[in-house]
Every structure is written in structure tokens, then in C-alpha cells.
Structure 1
């Protein structure tokens, strides 16, 4: 029997932050963002970590303020430590202001690699590699929350080839 009871409205649980490390020399919280098709790192952090040469790219990134930015490059196959797991990730490197408390954004590619299951109501992020799993309780993992902040984050990526094709179609239609 189906009941027509409306569930109670719940408050915003806040951002899902993942505590992570890089090369045992750098620790931070990273924003888990299913709405982003890239992993993002500010250039200032990339420079501090003294990483290898970046792979050039023609993609453009549209930020929340609708402006476009062109990445400095892509850092390929960086090993990000999350709990007991070490996972590979490609990061798009942008010349943007670094958020000291949450400098990284881990988008769908990383969350897919980590086999992430996000349980919003339980405030849990479940990650796994093969048969091993780890559960992060968002309330205890979060040392900094955007839940009371009016900041808006949004990233859209437009591949350079797609952009060129789109421009060509616009020219043909004129």
C-alpha cells in the first residue's frame, strides 16, 4: 500500500569534503563535486608541489561568474591519497585564487575512479578500490563548510575541438 505522506523537508547538509594527501608532503580537504567533469587545482598549489611538466590543452573552463579561463595545462596521473587508498587523477591547472582550506576540486572522473557512493541523508561518502571500502562521515571529515557561505561554485569545460566545431557551425548559419 502506497501512502501519500510527504517526507519532512531537510536542511542543506553542506559540502562533501574529502581529506586527502599528496606524496605524504601535502594534506588538505578537497571538494567532491559530481557537477564537475574535471579535477581542478590552482596553479599556485601546483607550483608549491614542484610537479612535473604540464600537458598542454586547448580546453576552456567556464567559471561560476560566466567568465572563461584557459588552463595552464593538465597534470597527468597524480597519485592522490585518500585514507588507505592511493588513486590516480588528472588535474586541470588554472590560474585562480587558491582556497587555503579547500584548494582542490575532485570531479566526476576522480569519484568514478574511487567508486564513490554518496549518501546525502546519512552524510556519508563511501569510496572503494576492488573489494575494500572506506566510509567518510561528512560531519567529522569537514573542518570547513560552505553551508553558511553564499559562495557559488560552478565549472563547465568546453573542449577546444568542440568549441572550434561550434564556431564553424555558427559561421555556416550566418
Structure 2
């Protein structure tokens, strides 16, 4: 509640006074710092949750810290998060892209998606839906279409209902109704 009102100092005060901090308290604190543009502190808390608190992050914790990776300062933290996801066999596809998709940060999602591809990580259906959703919310029509065609043609991903819905919405939102209708017919 406080972090949405830009009162991160109050959030931190409440957090510091908690006797026992569970996964949800840590995740809320991390999310509060990210929402208020302090990715460095979010990463510190992500690490403290594990090492000082003895709490194992879940997918929601990872999703909460990922938007902080959009700044240059967050790049190292993003690499650490990616390493954590790989080491702990979390579904990196859904965790990473869903985080950006939920926050509507299309440029950040595209950068992360491209990094994934450069690392040789094959995208899955959930990843493609997440990045297409973020492209849609950010008006990145051409990039979204490029990702869609690459996913289908280069990575052999089936155009699921969810993927088709994202692309139809992307085309419709940008006024390309004829193309949206054509794609809709292909998907049915």
C-alpha cells in the first residue's frame, strides 16, 4: 500500500520492525523499491532475502525484481537473477518475460528477449506471449511482428491461441485491422 504511494521510507520502516519476515514480506519490499525506481536497493534485498533471511525466492520474487534490470546499473543484477533462475531451474521463460509483460515495458522485454536468444536460450510459448504483450502495451508493432514471425519460423513455436490473441491485439491497437482479421482467420 505504501510503496504505491511513493512512501518507500515508510515501507522500509515497517519492514525493519517485522520480527519474522516471510517470502511475501521480502517480495513486497523488493517490489516497492523497483516501483520507486531504486533497483540497486531491490537487488540488495533480493540477495538479503536469500542470505540473511534464509528465504528461497519464488517466481513472483524474481518477477518483482526484474523490472529493475532495465537500467544500466541493473544489468549486473539482471545477470545475477538470470543465473539464479538457471541454477534453481525456475522457468526463465515465464518468469522473465511475464515480469516485463505485466509492467508493460516493451523495450526492456525486447532487450531481455534478445539477450536470451544471444545466450542460446530457445524461447517458449510463455516467453513469446510475455514479450508480445509488452510490445503491445508499448506500441512496438513492428518489433512485435518481427518476434512473432521469428518465433514461428525460426524456433518452430506453434501459433497458440494466446500468441495469436497477442498479435491480433497488437495489430488491432495499431489500426491494422485487415492484417488482424487475416491473422485471426489463419489461427482459427
TM norm structure 2: 0.23
Structure with the largest fraction of strand: 1
Q: Which has the higher helix share?
A: 2
TM-score (norm 1): 0.25
